[in-house]
Amino acid sequence: MRTLRLLAGAMLVASGVAGAQQKRAITFEDFAAVRAVSDPQPSPDGKLVLYNVRTTDVAANKRTSQTYVVATNGGTPTPFPGKEPNGADALATEARWSPDGKRVAYIANDQLWVADASGANAHQLTYLNGGVTGPVWSPIGDHIAFTSAVYPDCSTDACNASKSKAAADNKVKAHIADQLLYRHWTAWDDGTRSHLFVVGLDGSAPRDLIPSARYDVPPGPFGGSEGYAWSTDGREIAYTAKDQGRNNATSTDVNVYTVPVGGGASVVITAANKGADQNPVYSADGRFIAYSSQARPGFESDRWRLMIYNRADKKSHELLPAWDRNADAYFWAPEMNAIYIQTTDAGREKLYRVGLVAGARGALSASGAPKLLVGDHNNAAFSLSRDGHTLVWTRDASEFPAEVYAAEVTALAAAAHPVTHENDALVAQLALNPAEDFWFTGANGAKVQGFVIKPPNWQSGKKYPGILLIHGGPQGAWLDQWHGRWNYQMFAATGAALIIVNPRGSTGYGQKFVDEVSKDWGGKAYVDLMDGLDAALKTNRWIDPNALGAAGGSFGGYMVDWIAGHTNRFKALVSHAGPFNLENMATATEELWFPDWEYGGPFWDPKAMASQYRVYSPHLYVKNFKTPTLVTGGELDYRVPYTEDLSMFTALQRMNVPSRLVIFPDEGHWIGKPQNQRLWWGEVQGWLEKYLEGKPKA
């Protein structure tokens, strides 16, 4: 099968239509050749767009990001800011227009630069030891905010540089900790913190706005420039931080702070709420701050409510208490007559508009229910031009990678058009099928959504294997998107259909649906997955029920491990980074609020032990293991430590189940390095093809 698939990637096969050529299945080389488009930024007048393209060099085992600029109405993109003195394209990321559109700030070689809008007169603004990320212009264009890693005890960059050098030169590399959260995601705590800085364009030195702070702005591991914002008058910055000291590993109490740009103490404005508060955005008139907030402490997947903070009376209220969706991202209309919200809904990211009206004492309220503006395919990274007329964003789907789209705000539905065409030529060669929605009745009569994707060059009348994909989280969702890791088309290239189900715990279907996976990991979510598989088989008789596989990562890996002990209906399984022994997982992971909430407490709590750890842990059902299973993971995975993968593989081997272990010493929870990805896909596709016979049956 492997030889046949590689040959198919190298030549075109004649189709049944005379004179036509059949498109080919995607290969890893195609997957790596995708130009990953992101971060669109419209010029203040909406006529130009800056955007980022990440490319992959598999031979060099690296990825490179570069900024381009293109007219919003289309045209040929050009690299920004242009050429280096040696003739190579300058590699800029996080490019941001100045408020007047005459300059662009960007990151190059881990430092902050500014150039004219044409790319000319580029000059470096920072030379900080900890590097720079996340530039944000002040509203009047005289300063730029950013973050940089520092040692909190250092008051000068020379001190930071000295400490970094001493650590690098020290032959002893021991990790020493005296409190929890001593490592996070893929990194041990090295003593540095991400601090908020501002720098002027006049050549003055950058200033740390939170000197000595022992917290990160924004909190790790994934926060970016959405975590802080300038006030309209440029005198204040609001930012997101978590300052819970010894409780950092068990608390989700993140807060929004404000700090004077001219110097002074930070003030927390969300102290009353003990859940998480984040990502402040000042209103155009400067009177309000919008931010997102979770009400329940300790629960990282509570509904993100859209809150409005009145700077005059220092009070907050929820704008849309009856709207059962998350405020994932949001921005104000310049006229203050609306706010725009991005959210996940039924397997796709969408944009809504909420009208605003002023009430008593100037308080804002919604004038009606949110109105859907952009809902076709999957949409993200929305950005509104400063004049409020032009909206740009990225759009992708299961069958095409992301491209930049744009539209006038007054005609979003009718006038949305692609601005970039970075992947058109590649996509035109490939047999890529779209996601087909289906709904079914899951556990306790709930309505559940899924997708089916046909294999390349599907033909009626033939039988094909099927692969059930299970997402992580568990509070997450499969979207109709071009996934950069668990790519649907790469699974389908084995010659199998994909059954993609969003079971209990998935986002985009209301908070009750999300809540119903907690303290019930092997319960309703498992029933939803099996019911969804049955529903897909019933509707798509061309999927062979005797040639089924399942694959998942993180919670999806847990569910694969659970499946191994609870059903023999699958011919092959792929488990990546899956919790196997919940008791061990609960004290080896880093964010301890997660097992405390999901399992009802630590394992020494008698109730949690009786109702969760000794009920829903896959390691308790090893005696039932029979299905051939591939187990993969990364040694730098501190979210689900790779010892869970080792334990799963050991159990499979002890039960004499055909199994294979693939562990990457230089990867974490995700497999990201190009050559590692090539090996991972080769192992996954090979395993599924071997046991599912990945070819249609007449």
Calculate the alpha carbon distances from 527 to 284, 522, 524 in Å: 48, 8, 5
Question: Helices (H) and strands (E) in the chain — how many of each?
Answer: 14, 41
3-state secondary structure 314-341: CEEEECCCCCCCCCCEEEECCCCCEEEE
Query: Which residues make Cβ contacts (< 8 Å) with residue 175, sequence separation at least 6?
Result: 182, 183, 188
For residue 251, the enclosing domain spans: 238-311
* Residue whose structure tokens are 């767009």: 49
pTM of the model: 0.95
User: Cα separation of 179 and 322, whole Å?
Assistant: 40
Give pLDDT, residue 483. 97
In a domain, 46, yes or no: no
Give pLDDT, residue 695. 66
**Beta-carbon-side half-sphere exposure of residue 359 (alpha carbons within 13 Å):** 9
Give pLDDT, residue 4. 33
Of 311, 342, 359, the last residue of a domain is 311
Low-confidence stretches of the chain (pLDDT < 70) are 1-20, 85-86, 411-414, 694-695, 697-698
Q: Are residues 509 and 647 in the same domain?
A: yes
User: Cα separation of 565 and 620, whole Å?
Assistant: 8
In a domain, 104, yes or no: no
* Residue whose structure tokens are 């092997």: 522
Alpha helices in 363-464 (DSSP H): 412-415, 424-427
In a domain, 345, yes or no: no
- Is residue 528 packed enough to be buried (19+ CB in 10 Å), middle (13-18) or exposed (0-12)? buried
Provide the token pair at 603.
Answer: 């394992």
Beta strands in 201-266 (DSSP E): 207-208, 228-230, 236-241, 255-260
Provide the token pair at 478.
Answer: 């499969």
CA dihedral 638, 486, 580, 531 (to 10 degrees): 150
In a domain, 259, yes or no: yes
Q: Report the SS3 class of residue 533.
A: helix
Q: Are residues 514 and 648 in the same domain?
A: yes
Please give the single-letter amino acid code of residue 259: V
In a domain, 59, yes or no: no
Please give the single-letter amino acid code of residue 35: R
3-state secondary structure 589-618: CCCCHHHHHHCCCCCCCHHHHHHHHCCCCH
User: Cα separation of 328 and 343, whole Å?
Assistant: 5
Q: Are residues 300 and 449 in the same domain?
A: no
Please give the biggest Cα pair distance in the chain.
Answer: 75
Provide the token pair at 356.
Answer: 């605003």
Of 276, 311, 346, the last residue of a domain is 311
* Residue whose structure tokens are 């299961």: 398
What CATH number is attached to the domain comprising 460? 3.40.50.1820
In a domain, 286, yes or no: yes
In a domain, 643, yes or no: yes
Report residue 514 CA to chain centroid gap.
18
619 within 8 A of 580, measured Cβ to Cβ: yes
Give pLDDT, residue 698. 58
How many domains are there within the chain? Answer: 2
Radius of gyration of the chain (CA): 26
CB-CB neighbours of 576 under 10 Å: 28
Closest by CA to 532, choosing from 632, 443, 628, is 443
Provide the token pair at 619.
Answer: 């390691």
CB-CB neighbours of 591 under 10 Å: 19
Could you report the per-residue pLDDT of 139-154, keeping only the tens digit for each?
Answer: 999 999 999 999 999 9
User: Cα separation of 54 and 422, whole Å?
Assistant: 11
Q: Are residues 446 and 298 in the same domain?
A: no
Alpha helices in 371-463 (DSSP H): 412-415, 424-427
Q: Are residues 306 and 440 in the same domain?
A: no
CB-CB neighbours of 673 under 10 Å: 18
User: Cα separation of 246 and 180, whole Å?
Assistant: 7
Between helices 674-692 and 2-10, what is the axis angle to 10°? 120
Calculate the alpha carbon distances from 521 to 434, 585, 623 in Å: 30, 14, 20
Phi, psi of 613 (to 5 degrees): -60, -35
Closest by CA to 1, choosing from 25, 22, 23, is 25
Vertex 56: Cα angle to 50 and 62 (nearest 5) = 110
User: Cα separation of 631 and 633, whole Å?
Assistant: 7
Closest by CA to 369, choosing from 395, 341, 397, is 341
Beta strands in 434-509 (DSSP E): 436-441, 447-453, 464-470, 497-502
Q: Report the SS3 class of residue 658.
A: coil
**What letter would DSSP give residue 162?**
H
Give pLDDT, residue 693. 84
Vertex 596: Cα angle to 503 and 240 (nearest 5) = 90
Of 257, 278, 311, the last residue of a domain is 311
In a domain, 458, yes or no: yes
